Structure 1
Amino acid sequence: MNTKIVIIGGVAAGATAAAKARRTSEDVSITMAEKGRYISFANCGLPYYTGGTIASRNSILLHTKKTFGDRFNADVMTNTEALSIDPVKKTVLFATEKGQVETPYDKLLIATGAKTFIPKIEGIDTVPYFTMRTVDDADGVKAWIETKKPKSALIIGGGFIGIETAEAMLHCGIKPVVVEALDEIMPNLPRIIAMNLREKMVSDGCDVVIRKYVKKLTQTDRIHAELSDGTVIDTDLVILCTGVRPATELAAAAGVVVGERGGILTNERMETNVKDIYAAGDVVEKTNLITGKKVLMPLAGPANREGRAAGCNMAGGDMVFKGVIGSSVVGFNGFVSAQTGLTYEQAIAAGFDADYVYTEDVNTSSYYPGHGYIFMMTVFDKKTGRLLGLSACGADGTEKRADEAAVAIYAGLSVYDLEHLEFCYAPPFASAKDNLNIAGFVASNSLRHTGFTVTPEFIYEKIKKGEKLQLLDVRSAPEHKAYAIEGSKHVFVNDVRNSTDKIDRSQPVYVYCAVGFRGYLAVRSLRNLGFEAYNITGGIEAYFRVKKIS
């Protein structure tokens, strides 16, 4: 007797599971039911379709009901909502366009995904607003733009979708205003990284409001948004990008265990606590491979891999999904912010004896025309040197360095290993010493106690408290004249050996350059000459970033 596989939900996890189940066996029957009209579409492409970067609507529709059904010999039902699961009878009650249908299963996958979190805003039900989760959402925004001709758009939420939607509005000639209640946009990133993205957005014509939330919405001729501080923003279009929550109600009603984070708990085979019921995608909690703890991570990559494992196992195969590291990227008009692994705060919270270094280097060879810069924060364990995380922002290629770091983290490499990794090199693509190599050099020197680094946060706090520090700027004279850390002396790096009379031997000297390399050279010279010298990691560029967010 053929195994009856029923999948609730399509898109990343559900559709992938169905496809993998069929590739695993021809001797199973597959039924996939999707609540919406589209069973397989590119969620992550919706803002780019809305903004016109993706011109064709068909480009984001990866499969239709017919093409998927024909290719994978599956019974595909759209506009079909699962109402309940009976794990004893092993049936699912569906509401279809023709009425309710009870469908039996041998193996069941819950891939109900996540739903947009709608914040408690006074008056939100009295004004038109949109979300950006489905094809219908994107269609609605595009239709509103075409018919209403809005001049401005209020985007509530400064996460991935909020940033991408803001960029889309700019491309449509609409003034975006992003309101984020937390201290900074992109709260998954360190503030010193996210701040740069916000500055890029503002410089390109987007208004960004942080540390305030939308309290009330009203409408006359326009929509009026009252913020928590009493400020009122008038707008023509409201888009909620306030994050998502796992859609677990159906699963919980069937006795499936939901974890502390709010997602379904599964084992590595994507099996739940209920026999023959599996779960995958945004509805599921994942295991963080670095900490071993459960996390929510509503991203397409993990959802696809979970669906693949579940589909294989339901069809009689054997596959596991090990967990996640937490790799993500977002861009705004060519400026890239990427993250993998743990931030410093997350590493400390997880119990690691963590430290970090800042580096900033070119994305190609420095002599290659059009090069840009990548600012990175590399997090590692002080006891073992294990690489724990990397956050970066800057020019094209930023995401490549995060990907490199993700592989290193997955492999359990240390910052000492980063010194020796061999990457592709040619002037248009990278330097002979890749950005991740340099991060390894700086972090390893710190651990070996040969780099003598201090953080810009350490320096800033001492200056803020009014402490007198001996600060030495070793950049060129024009650089020092343009801007410098308050109270610093200037000696060019090449002149340090012959200018020791300008430096007080009786107290520590804190050295900085632009991004850290010249400072390191000067510190090594001064140390060799008997000075207690320290290099400010990341240089003055990191220092001013710290100052801005403090």
Structure 2
Amino acid sequence: MGKKILVIGGVAAGATAAAKARRTDETAEITILEKNGYVSFANCGIPYYIGNVIKSRNSLLLQNAKSLKKRYNIDVYTNTEAIRIDPDKKIVFAKNNRDENLTFNYDKLILCNGAKTIIPQIEGISEIDYFTVRSIEDMDKIKDFIEDHKPESACVIGAGYIGIETSEALMHCGLKVTVVEALPHILPTFSPEVSLKIYEKMSSCGITLKTETKIVKTYKQDNKIILLSEKGESFTTDLLIIATGVKPDVELAKTAGLEIGLAGGVMVNSRMETSVADIYAAGDLVEKKDIITGNYILAPLAGPANREGRVAGCNAAGGNLEYKGTLRTAIVSFENACCAQTGLSHKEAIKYGFDASFTYTEDPNHVEYYPDPKYIFIKLIFDRKTGKILGAEASGENGVERRIDVISTAIFAGLTVYDLGEIDFCYSPPYGAAKDPVNISGLVATNFINGSSLITPQQFLEIYSSELQILDVRTRIEFKSYRVKNARNIYVNDLRESIAELDKNRPVYIYCAVGYRGYVATKLLRSYGFDAYNISGGIEAIKRTAKIKSMEVIDAGNS
């Protein structure tokens, strides 16, 4: 008989670990303990089933105890929670839903018991019926409540990934939805100018969004849930969802004396080994190595959990794999608007000591002459000294995921912004352009490093006044539709003949729609001795930034 491999927890990390262990060692005795009723399910699909986008509940159930036994010869105990670990005797103590105490011996133990929802400190919350969105059981409770009670309204506390996706699902169920977020903007891991795409889409769909709003008290009145904010606002709802993030569920790990890291997760090495011999860990439970900084962080995402589970399962069964780390590459959508990110944000890059800067570009997902182009807004973060790509964020409606995946791959491979401009992309009018948005993003960053006199919209708005010399180099028709206040319009094609109209003794701040024509104009004026600056991302980026800063700098209408 082979070694005993015990896996605690299923889903992305646990089920993957067990399956990989079996593929590595056919003779091992492999057992999974899962505290819930379902050992392997697509938890990322839960909001889409709630919202009736995914019609079949069974499609979310990827494996069950019977199928895992049949295909992989893995024994599964569902509704069985591990309570304590004795690492010296290599015993796990557990209890099932019949209140029976069980013990399991192991040679190798893999902890994949994940994370738990962070419940905010709200007065009265323990007296209120609220829902979380983590498990099939959670999903069923929400579906049953909607079907049985026919709620008219819902409130989602938290505007991260799960909060956004769940609010969309509840909207599809016909509910009037309010989303409350304590931080200044939705999707806090994104820059506000990027997440604005989803904010505007949610608003246009009738979602009420309340940012910088912290709920401090709740109570029930006439079968309604009343929520009170720190600012004295009151919200009334029929259905309450808590989506304020998750934290590693480390209580079981602590019983075995496992080292807990500064971020609050179990510490592991590249082989997913913990600080205690013969105990591995993977998934949302553990801290992960950030590929760019080398620091250990939390990244509760399905992709890293799956890869970590594979490494842990292989090594527990006698193999030799290493996990290289994560870039936290992720995407979220609301209807047809989506945001994606990879690597560090600009603030994080500064925090970790990089000489970091960023550029904005906005280009169509395919050539403009092909019907229905959709523009992709990309914020590329990089080191000014080395050209090292540090991260990227993007928003749009079509092709966003492809571009962020490419940049993620470039970071993983150690490429620089100089390389981004040279990458070969497949091109046909329905699918792209001769210069892909990623190419352009890399070229703009390269030009910036090489001294192209690029400034960010944030820098421009910090110095904005009616005294500035601001030049709009778009067409007259574009200029008439909307423009920066106090800007003058000279179309880029007419600039050579109109240079005398500009004051050479004052700086010129130039913009077009999204950046390229502004770049051409800036190069031209600088060749004539002007102190000219191109505003990164053009007026579209200025509009985004001004809206976030609540600055009235855009004139609309004919003139």
Cα gap change, 1:289/1:457 in structure 2, threshold over 3 Å: closer, same or farther? same
Please report how far the alpha carbon of residue 468 of structure 1 lies from its aligned counterpart in structure 2 after TM superposition.
2.6
The secondary structure found in structure 2 opposite 1:263 is coil
Q: Which runs of 5+ in 2 are unaligned?
A: 550-559
The secondary structure found in structure 2 opposite 1:225 is strand
Q: Distance in 1 between matches of 2:241 and 2:80?
A: 26
Equivalence for 1:28? 28
The Cα offsets for residues 101-120 of structure 1, whole Å up to 9 and x where unpaired, read as 11110000111100011111
Q: Distance in 1 between matches of 2:481 and 2:104?
A: 72
C-alpha RMSD of the superposition: 1.0
Q: Is contact 2:157-2:243 (8 Å) kept?
A: yes
The Cα offsets for residues 353-387 of structure 1, whole Å up to 9 and x where unpaired, read as 01110000111211111111111100110111011
Q: How does 1:81-92 map to 2 (within 5 A)?
A: 81-92=81-92
Equivalence for 1:70? 70
Q: Which segment drifts farther, 188-197 or 12-21?
A: 188-197
Q: Is contact 2:6-2:32 (8 Å) kept?
A: yes
The Cα offsets for residues 497-520 of structure 1, whole Å up to 9 and x where unpaired, read as 000121001111111011111111
Q: How does 1:125-524 map to 2 (within 5 A)?
A: 125-221=126-222, 222-449=224-451, 451-463=452-464, 466=465, 468-524=467-523
Q: Which segment drifts farther, 16-25 or 94-103?
A: 94-103
Q: Is contact 2:154-2:175 (8 Å) kept?
A: yes
Q: Distance in 2 between matches of 1:103 and 1:127?
A: 37
The secondary structure found in structure 2 opposite 1:7 is strand
Q: Is contact 2:327-2:343 (8 Å) kept?
A: yes
Equivalence for 2:52? 52
Amino acid at match of 1:384: T
Equivalence for 2:557? none
Q: Distance in 2 between matches of 1:210 and 1:469?
A: 33
Equivalence for 2:112? 111
Amino acid at match of 1:318: N
Amino acid at match of 2:497: N
The Cα offsets for residues 448-487 of structure 1, whole Å up to 9 and x where unpaired, read as 11x2211111110001xx4732110111112212221121
Large movers: runs of 4+ above 6 Å: none
Amino acid at match of 1:81: E
Equivalence for 1:526? 525
Q: Distance in 2 between matches of 1:368 and 1:467?
A: 40
Q: Is contact 2:291-2:324 (8 Å) kept?
A: yes
Q: Distance in 2 between matches of 1:77 and 1:253?
A: 21
Amino acid at match of 2:396: G
Q: Distance in 1 between matches of 2:435 and 2:520?
A: 17
Please report how far the alpha carbon of residue 528 of structure 1 lies from its aligned counterpart in structure 2 after TM superposition.
2.0
Q: Distance in 1 between matches of 2:96 and 2:243?
A: 29
Q: Which segment drifts farther, 93-102 or 359-368?
A: 93-102
Q: Distance in 1 between matches of 2:379 and 2:409?
A: 17
Q: Distance in 2 between matches of 1:31 and 1:423?
A: 45
Amino acid at match of 2:305: A
Please report how far the alpha carbon of residue 195 of structure 1 lies from its aligned counterpart in structure 2 after TM superposition.
2.0
Please report how far the alpha carbon of residue 97 of structure 1 lies from its aligned counterpart in structure 2 after TM superposition.
4.0
Q: Distance in 2 between matches of 1:368 and 1:129?
A: 48
The secondary structure found in structure 2 opposite 1:130 is coil
Equivalence for 2:38? 38
The secondary structure found in structure 2 opposite 1:436 is helix
Q: Distance in 2 between matches of 1:91 and 1:156?
A: 40
The secondary structure found in structure 1 opposite 2:145 is helix
Amino acid at match of 1:66: K
The secondary structure found in structure 1 opposite 2:484 is coil
TM-score after normalising by structure 1: 0.98
Q: Which segment drifts farther, 329-338 or 190-199?
A: 190-199
Amino acid at match of 2:94: F
Q: Distance in 2 between matches of 1:332 and 1:432?
A: 30
The Cα offsets for residues 117-173 of structure 1, whole Å up to 9 and x where unpaired, read as 111111112221100000011111111111111111100000000000011011111
The secondary structure found in structure 1 opposite 2:236 is strand
Amino acid at match of 1:248: V
Equivalence for 2:103? 102
Q: Distance in 2 between matches of 1:121 and 1:424?
A: 52
The secondary structure found in structure 1 opposite 2:505 is coil
Q: Distance in 2 between matches of 1:97 and 1:299?
A: 28
Q: Distance in 2 between matches of 1:427 and 1:223?
A: 52
Q: Distance in 2 between matches of 1:299 and 1:285?
A: 12
TM-score after normalising by structure 2: 0.97
Q: Distance in 1 between matches of 2:490 and 2:448?
A: 24
Q: Distance in 1 between matches of 2:366 and 2:334?
A: 20
Equivalence for 1:542? 541
Q: Distance in 2 between matches of 1:196 and 1:101?
A: 51
The secondary structure found in structure 2 opposite 1:84 is strand
Q: Which segment drifts farther, 349-358 or 477-486?
A: 477-486
Equivalence for 2:11? 11
The secondary structure found in structure 2 opposite 1:297 is coil
Q: Is contact 2:301-2:328 (8 Å) kept?
A: no
Q: Distance in 1 between matches of 2:31 and 2:328?
A: 31
Q: Which segment drifts farther, 433-442 or 420-429?
A: 420-429
Amino acid at match of 1:61: L
The secondary structure found in structure 2 opposite 1:131 is coil
Q: Distance in 1 between matches of 2:389 and 2:77?
A: 46
Q: Which runs of 5+ in 1 are unaligned?
A: none
The Cα offsets for residues 403-452 of structure 1, whole Å up to 9 and x where unpaired, read as 00000000111100011000111111211210000001100011111x22
